[in-house]
Amino acid sequence: MDARPPPELRKPHPPSLSPRALALAGWSAFLVAGLIFLAIAWNVTGRSTLVALDSRLADWLHGHTDGALTAFFFALTNLHSPGAIAGASAIFGVVLARLRQWYWLLTLAVGVGGGMLINLVLKAAYERLRPHFDDPLLALTTFSFPSGHTAGAVLFYGVLAAFLVSRFYDWRARAACVAGAAGAVALVAFSRMYLGAHYLSDVLAAACASTVWLVLCLAGGHALVRGRLKLHWLASAFLAFLLIATAVLIPEEWWARFVDAVDAMNPLVALLVFCSVYAAALLLLLPAWIFPIAAGAIFGFLWGIVAAMVAVAASAIVGLLVARYVVRGRMERVARKNDVFKAVDRAVLKQPRKIVALLRMASVIPEGVKSYFLGLTRVRLDDYMAGTLAGVAPDLLVKVYLGAAGRGALVHGGALNWALLGAGIVALLALTFIVGRKVRKALKL
């Protein structure tokens, strides 16, 4: 006999938050936090007015300390040290394991562990010294930018709040979880400033950088739970993360040295060297996404477009010739067993330029692989090159623009330059998603 209660008496499943609203909120937080971090990082390395504000605020807080508050903030900061966060994460992990919440456990491990590792990398990249006082409450010799305590709090409480939100029924309980997590992070961040361990920009940068990583981890965990983790989403997220990481891990003086080295070369030599290295990276299937961005940063928008297009065209020709005349026999035997290859081979005979262009727009496939793949088909060289240049043009235009705008933001600063950089990042993400979706539908990849 079935002992289960009738459907009307069963406890309802917690109402799911709108997937579209979650996606909008999450990726908006990702972009906003990433851009704020970039702005703070530029101000810190450029020693702008934000650095002066940091010093004034640190001096004011140090001059207004109170015995009881100092004891409270010492206890709070010790409870949120990297070791304490690791211990709390381990306890939370045990709870998740007992509940058999394996995806949440993975999200916790990757979120907290990966986020703290990123924090260490950022500290080593920027090497900012901590506030200095004649009578310090805390005497630390490690680097301060960004704050490790704040980063750990954002990551741990972020995952905890997200898990609790997924379990509670009432919207007020969910709001309380989010507010509690935000309040805890704010207290930890303020404790580090109050005790003289960090500047304001240190804790703000830590909160932003950790939010970027947290959004990636929560989005990945959510997709895993629903069985919707797709390659193109991973590629888009990873690309966005690498774009931000490339900018934040290269302080202003590093950019200056790099630009000086390139400027010392003859312009034509610099262009040829760049194109050769870029083309070789494509043919060797190395990560080459940074090259068009670098082209914009080094040569500017117009010449950057020329450099990127020449490099891609050269690699496309060499890849086709290698596949068609050097290693054709062995590669073709493998390819002929693949249904996708057979379909593309038939399609390029009917609409060669369109098919080549669509295939070039599929961002999840490395350009070198596409060149070798198309070299085995019966496409003519003129159709192949026309389709290749048309297919790569949108992606290269946006990336070269992003590099040119990024250099302007990092070297010159200013709200307009940062706004142009932000617009470029948004455009690249939109292009990757919209074009990629249409291409996969057209090619049935």
Point out the residues that are catalytic. Answer: 149, 198
Question: Pick from 426, 82, 45: which is nearest to 249 by CA?
Answer: 45
* HEC per residue, 376-396: CCCCCHHHHHHHHHHHHHHHH
Query: CA-CA distance, 262 to 4, in Å (whole number)?
Result: 74
DSSP class of 140: -
Residue 167 three-state SS: helix
**The residue type at 348:** V
Characterize 290-322 residue by residue with b for buried, 16 or more Cβ atoms within 10 angstroms of its Cβ, and e for exposed.
Answer: bbbbbbbbbbbeebbbebbbbbbbbbbbbbbeb
Count of alpha carbons within 13 Å of 398, Cβ hemisphere only? 18
**The residue type at 431:** L
Look up tokens 């936090």; give the residue: 33
Query: What are the Cα distances from residue 242, in Å, to 98, 130, 245, 288, 411?
Result: 35, 28, 5, 12, 20
Query: CA-CA distance, 151 to 408, in Å (whole number)?
Result: 29
Structure tokens at 328: 């054709």
Cβ proximity of 292 and 239 under 8 Å: no
Cβ proximity of 144 and 131 under 8 Å: yes
Question: Pick from 366, 27, 92: which is nearest to 223 by CA?
Answer: 27
